[in-house]
Amino acid sequence: MSAKKAKLPNIVLIGVDSLRADRMSCYGHDRLTTPHIDRFAREGTLFERYYSPHIPTTSGYANMLTGMDVFSTQVVALRHKGPMREEIATLPEILRNFGYTSTCVGFQGNPASRGFDTYIQYEGWGMQEDGRAHKAEKLNEVTLPELDRLVAQGDPFLLFLRHMDPHSPYLPPGPFDRIFYHGDECDPRNKSMEPVMAFKPFRDYFASWMPEGITDKDYIIAQYDGAIAYMDAAIQRIFTALATHGILDETIVVLTADHGETLYDHDCYFDHHGLYDVTLHVPLIIRYPGKVPAGGRVAGYGQEYDLVPTLLELAGLEVDIEFDGKSLVPMMTGEEVTHRSEFYITECTWMRKHGWRTPEWKLIVALEPDFHFKPPVELYNLVQDPDENENLAESEAGVVDLLRGRMERWIARREEETGLPNPIYHQEDWHGHEGVGAFKTSQQAYDTLYIGSPKQAARIQAGQKDTEEPAVAEAESEATTETADEEPAKGPKSAEA
């Protein structure tokens, strides 16, 4: 390993949990959700087609922080058992060889969070006395003093911040709670929340933080957008602190996300499962004057595992690691138009599926029946149907066969290159129920998977025990079985996957 220059840049990596690119105003949202980030984007380069191909959190952050895909990391499930492979170096471990010190805020105990010098937790889940969640302010309370310390110690540093505001429960404080909503969220004439509250696996969790008597889905969506706007204002304090220290232009500042979010999309209400673009398409914005063009917008494709090689090239660092990802710098400078435009996709949290995405088509194949009673194969024309509402799997069987063949050849190639199996095939108890194995029917999945409260959701995501603080946890979900005295679940009776 060698450094090309003596003075190394600091790196601030803002890795937001559950942030959809299309809900940010700099990505075209009609609501002004991110005015401060919009200005930040104008001072740097924004990637329009950047994807997190292996969702959700554990695998997404593993790709983000290693430059490797799921075949190399072997991390594909939210509830990944054991540590990540020791042969895989994380970004803080790589940077340590060049004299960097590192701090991680809000992401501890996860297989993907290995290697930081300092870990700091904050209250990223609980409600305050006003009934709202001040997540970003709580992050700032611990981050700003740590930033002061890092600047004072003089060494180049990596500061990783995991913001939780767009992750449910969406409870932004005022005025952000109603900045995008004016009306009666409990209007009895509005029936849009009925299917949400009828979905038994999540309904108790939703009831624990949504307003009693909620009827209007648009109110909940406005809470998500409001949480982004609130976070945007809080992130500006980080930018201001960097500028006040006089190091903003000497620092590579990155904003991205581990995955997106389903709001009222595809019946995957207010979560982040389903291999649809609302969960795969995430933001990537990089600011570093002199190396990153200001006002740039890159239309080419990039994936989460391209980030680490990009950061190393921007910092002028050479390593003897063969990353699965490629540096995005040539795309920023116009030397290259795009990286791989078709790629393998996986999910393993509430459903176990994989697929293949091209600029025109999306193939999704279930590896076992899911709790939404969706068909075993889904195919969408992304050009004619960008919202992925019309499943063409039956009418376009030839396209299904073509894409399935490409996917299977890619899997075989990566297994041969790594000497490792595809981890999505070996996740018998991915859902957190030991001994259950793969679900046999969608009804079994619907009756088994359940989440009841934000506190439980926090423990689930990181596989925490009840005695541990929920703030330390990830926020996704280790499902728990329903209690024996509940009525049998009445799920849909449509096709089994």
* CATH code of the domain containing 332: 3.40.720.10
Q: How far is CA 340 from CA 209, 303, 392, 447, in A?
A: 41, 8, 24, 39
Q: Does residue 278 lie within any of the structural domains? A: yes
Compute CA distances 79 → 50, 138, 291, 463, 480, whole Å.
25, 26, 38, 7, 13
- pLDDT of 114-126, one tens digit each? 999 999 999 877 7
Residue 480 falls inside a structural domain: no
Nearest to 348 by CA among 471, 236, 430: 430
Which tokens belong to 447? Answer: 């009756």
User: H helices within 316-432, ranges in order?
Assistant: 329-333, 397-418
Give the mean pLDDT of the chain. 90
Nearest to 439 by CA among 379, 351, 377: 351
Q: Tell me, yes or no, whether 138 lies in a domain.
A: yes
The pLDDT of residue 459 is: 57
User: Residue 489 has what pLDDT?
Assistant: 40
Distances (CA, A) of 205 to 117, 152, 483: 35, 43, 15
Task: Classify residue 154 by burial, with Cβ atoms within 10 Å: 0-12, 13-18, 19+.
Answer: exposed
Q: Is residue 123 included in any domain, yes or no?
A: yes
Domain that holds residue 259: 9-183+216-340
Task: Express each pLDDT in 144-185 by its tens digit.
Answer: 999 999 999 999 999 999 999 999 999 999 999 999 999 999
More confident residue, 461 or 411: 411
Share of the chain above pLDDT 90, in %: 84
Residue 7 CA to residue 1 CA, distance in Å, equals 16
Residue 471 pLDDT level (bands cut at 50, 70, 90): very low
At residue 104, the pLDDT reads 98
Three-state DSSP class for residue 396: coil
What is the gyration radius of the CA atoms in the chain, in angstroms? 22
What is the number of domains present in the chain?
1
Q: Sorting pLDDT into bands at 50, 70 and 90, what band is 490?
A: very low
Q: Is the pLDDT of residue 464 over 70?
A: no
Q: Average pLDDT of 462-476? A: 38
How many other C-beta atoms can be found within 10 angstroms of the C-beta atom of residue 130? 11
Tokens, residue 2: 């060698």
Question: Each residue of 393-410: pLDDT tens digit?
Answer: 999 999 999 999 999 999
Which pLDDT belongs to residue 126? 73
pLDDT tens-place string over residues 313-369: 999 999 999 999 999 999 999 999 998 999 999 999 899 999 999 999 999 999 999
At 274-321, the pLDDT tens digits run: 999 999 999 999 999 999 999 999 999 999 999 999 999 999 999 999
The predicted structure's pLDDT at residue 456? 59
pLDDT score of 454: 60
**What contacts 298, CB < 8 A, 6 or more positions away?**
45, 46, 47, 48, 49, 328, 331, 332
pLDDT score for 458: 58
pTM for the model stands at 0.90
CB-side neighbour CA atoms (13 Å) of 390: 9
pLDDT in the model for residue 479: 33
pLDDT score for 311: 98
| Confidence (pLDDT) at 124 | 79
Phi-psi region of 26 (alpha: psi -120 to 50; beta: other; left: phi over 0): alpha
The answer to whether residue 202 sits within a structural domain is no
Using CA atoms, how far apart are residues 176 and 153, in angstroms rounded to an integer? 37
* Tens digit of each residue's pLDDT (9 = 90 or more) over 325-341: 999 999 999 999 998 99
| Whether the predicted pLDDT of 447 surpasses 90 | yes
Q: Write the DSSP string, 235-291.
A: HHHHHHHHHHTT-GGGEEEEEEES---BSSSTT-TTB--SSSHHHHB--EEEE-TTT
pLDDT higher than threshold 60 for residue 473: no
Looking at the domain assignment, is residue 268 inside a domain?
A: yes
Confidence of residue 467 (pLDDT cuts 50, 70, 90): very low
Q: Could you give the angle at which helices 217-244 and 135-153 cross, rounded to 10 degrees? A: 20
Query: What per-residue confidence (pLDDT) applies to 128?
Result: 82
Summarize the confidence of residues 197-225 as an average pLDDT. 95
d(Cα 89, Cα 17) in Å, to the nearest integer? 22
Please choose, from the candidates 153, 204, 163, 121, the residue with its C-alpha nearest in 3D space to the C-alpha of residue 19: 163
Instruction: Please report the DSSP string for 3-42 in residue order.
Output: ES-SSPPEEEEEEESS--GGGSGGGT-SS---HHHHHHHH
Q: Which two tokens stand for residue 437?
A: 């194995």
Angle in degrees, CA 117, 284, 24, rounded to 5: 120
- Tell me, yes or no, whether 398 lies in a domain: no
Residue 336 lies in a domain: yes
